[in-house]
Amino acid sequence: MTAFEKTSAPLTREPDTTEQARLLTTAQEQALDRACSSIAPNWPLDRMIAVNPLWAMREQPIDEVAARLSSLAYIHSLMPPSHYLQRWQNGDIQAEHLTRAAAELDYPGNYQNLLKVVKTLSELPHWHNISDLVDAARDRQHKMAWRDEIIHQISQFCAAHYQEDGPFNTERLNPQGERSSNPTLYQQWLRITRVDRGIAILMAEPGLGRFFDTLPATDEGLFQAAAAELGVNATQLGDYAQALLLDINGWAAWVAFRDWQRELGENDSAPATEMRSLLAIRLAWELVLWRYLHRRHPEQAQNLSWLWRRELDSLPELFERHRQAQRPLWVWQRAAELAYQQPLNRSLTQAVRAPHTVADTPSLQAVFCIDVRSEPLRRALEQQNPDIQTLGFAGFFGLPLSVVTPGSALAQPHLPGLLAPQVEVRLGTPEQANAQARQLNWSARFQEWSQTAAATFTAVEAGGLLYAGKLLGRSLLPGKAPKRLELSSLRWHWRDSGKPLTQADQVTLLRNVLTAMGLTERFASRVLLVGHGSHTQNNPHAAGLECGACGGQSGEVSVRALARLLNDPSLRAPLAEAGITLPDDCRFVPALHHTVTDRIELLEGEDWLSAETAEWLRRASAGAQRERAAALGLSPDQADLDQQLTQRNSDWSQTRPEWGLANNAAFIAAPRSVTAPIDLQGRSFLHDYNWRTDPEFSRLELIMTAPLVVAHWINMQYNSSTLDNRKFGSGNKVLHNVVGGHIGVFEGNGGDLRIGLPLQSLHDGEQWRHEPLRLSAYLAAPTRAIDAIIAKHPVLQALTGNGWLYLFSLDDETGAVQAYHDGHWTRTTD
């Protein structure tokens, strides 16, 4: 008998769960389902797009969600009072804003006394899981906190389980050690944890491991046993389960992503009950601690039982206390949003009423992504010549693509995360694909060999010098442009059937794209299709700076593929028969806006542009660079500004190569003539739209259900990562370690999977670079059309009715702005 066994109290028998556990009631099952559906997905690093982390709770009013998250998990959904006080002292928020905000929110209380608000918030109680209650009585000076160990242990298990070549993917056994073709996540965890003797030693709790042997072998058995033994009724179970999932929110968001992909038909391997299984793991820890204390420390257990009953009984009062305590801060938040909206309303009204002319045939047209980073560059380009026309459109340019690169068997989605690909584009010829496959195969073999234990030192000694040239080149010649993709050949196939697209299919695709773009007449002889991309080094979150509408990829493939089709002479005649006639001399030129340097790179067809046009592009880039320089800590007037920006995207140590979409605040769908006179400061998503050319309002419906929702996701991702970077952000970039090659990051070597944006994407070391304001959406369209579309789509009803964004109608003839609230339109008085 070992010393460890001698100090362990004997476990006389397994708790008789058959006596205690009953089948869950329908209400309890529904409560678990609600909790499991409350987590929003988070995309992996190689496909990182911005997501509203509260998306799954959009059916509830935002203030109720904020109170719920604050009480259950200490999550912040509002800035601290000090932030609003600073805005007041700076004169940004004024008394009129506060008065109007209080009236809108029907708040008669004292919102001015922020010190009292601070005191009230500091005195609020919060929900405690069983592990938290046990920690409160634990000797924290000599023993590790249960919460820390639980999150670390679950997180390490998930990291090993989900990586593609993980140690748990080669052998699927159930908790009894029997081979199983389909064990649940909980069963895999239980099998691993039952043989892990290190947990009891680390936590200094002899005999703890035996209590994992008492856990039920199935997910449902675990839920039944926990609900019975912990005395949680259906009303309480949903809140408790949500609090447990928020403890491991990062991994819950990863499972939610797998669920999302399964629903889109992109991931058939993800079980439909995977979130419940993850919840079962977290709940199993609660049950183990409960049983352990009741068996080993009955005196402590008696107090724990009393505290636990008090937690459960106080839930309704807890939510209400948090909601009431936050009401003054919602007044200040609304005042901050009014301080942004009122000047913008006035600017839009003045711009509509100002005289403007439109060239019959533009000298140059350039279609940009609606991304806020495009707005300063569009302004700068338009300033080069009054006959230049720019347009805004979603950055995937309407092509529902997944892309297969040469030698790869995987298809990479190049469209918004809301959508599933319909068309697969295979790059290169079959011969190129075979050659690249052989090269990748040899590289994979070498990498596999170099990572074996026997070859670890040999590989470094023998091959280390081979990398010296590459390292020196990247260090001494940082300005080298990123390599363009091999697009000598494009093969178009329907994704579902694998059949090639016919000429008629391609014409239909082009007609739909040009119609959605609003570009069906008055074509210039040269039309730039300007996607965007961000070239950075040593940055796990690099995809987050790429085009979100392209699924976290560069827009290069989309613009080059679309230009190829539009320039195909064989498609011009059938396209004309379909209603869109392209002039014979019209050429579409694909280009890429590098968002770190603001350069416009021509990807193909450089010879089609005149020297004058090339000079326009160069001067526009220089103007955009000067406008952004101060925000990056650079002088707008320095002679080597372009070189400084180039070095930023190649510097391995640069944690802030660019600010991405920080400080975004508005979405505007209107003719460019409305927004062109306004300096929108790179804070607005700009989508071209003219309702007079949209008799059925089908384009408006598309804009409201796709680009607007994507803009809301981006806005809420930046807001949430700023408001609570601990839970909805990924912390300090310097400490990141990539998990599973692409799943996400740890901050340090453990803890929960970190989701959202790093601190360095939002804060410059002295102040926040993003001000959290809910998105203000302006649609230049009749209110009756907007009403009809909202009535058709529950998601729009939720976003507008529950305070997740603001919706305005802009009359592009009179300049009148109307605000949408509770199903009614009210003329603004700004």
Give binding residues for Zn(2+) as ranges: 369, 371, 532, 547
Displacement of CA 528 from its chain's centroid (Å): 29
Residues 6+ apart with CB under 8 A from 542: 534, 536
Contact 550, 605 (CB under 8 A): no
Residues with Cβ < 8 Å from 92, sequence gap 6 or more? 336, 339
* DSSP code for 165: T
State the virtual CA torsion across 741, 744, 746, 752 in degrees, nearest 10: -130
Structure tokens at 239: 């809140």
- Please check whether residue 701 is in contact with residue 378, taking contact to mean a CB–CB distance below 8 angstroms: no
Name the amino acid, one letter, at 450.
S
Helix (H) or strand (E) holding 150: helix 146-162
Burial of 574 (0-12, 13-18, 19+ CB in 10 A): middle
Q: Are 428 and 557 a contacting pair, CB within 8 Å?
A: no
Q: Which residues pair with 412 in a beta bridge?
A: 403
Q: Residue for token digits 């009062």?
A: 317
The count of other CB atoms within 10 Å of the CB of residue 273 is 17
- Which positions make up the binding site? 369, 371, 532, 547
Report DSSP state, residue 484: P
With beta carbons less than 8 A apart as the criterion, state whether 364 and 530 touch.
no
Could you tell me which residues are beta bridge partners of residue 818? 809, 827
Strand ordering across the sheet containing 806-810: 684-688, 666-670, 776-779, 806-810, 817-821, 824-827
Beta bridge partners of residue 403, listed in sequence order: 412, 425
Spatial contact of 229 and 20, defined as CB atoms under 8 Å apart = yes
Closest Cα partner for 747 from 732, 760, 757, 759?
A: 732
Are 566 and 70 spatial neighbours (Cβ–Cβ below 8 Å)?
A: no
Per-residue HEC secondary structure of 376-398 comes to HHHHHHHCCCCCEEEEEECCCCC
Q: Residue 274: enclosing H or E segment and its boundaries?
A: helix 274-296
As a whole number of angstroms, the distance between CA 560 and CA 170 comes to: 41
How far is residue 323's CA from residue 620's CA, in Å, rounded to a whole number? 49
Q: Which residue in 9, 6, 2 sits closest to 210, CA to CA?
A: 9
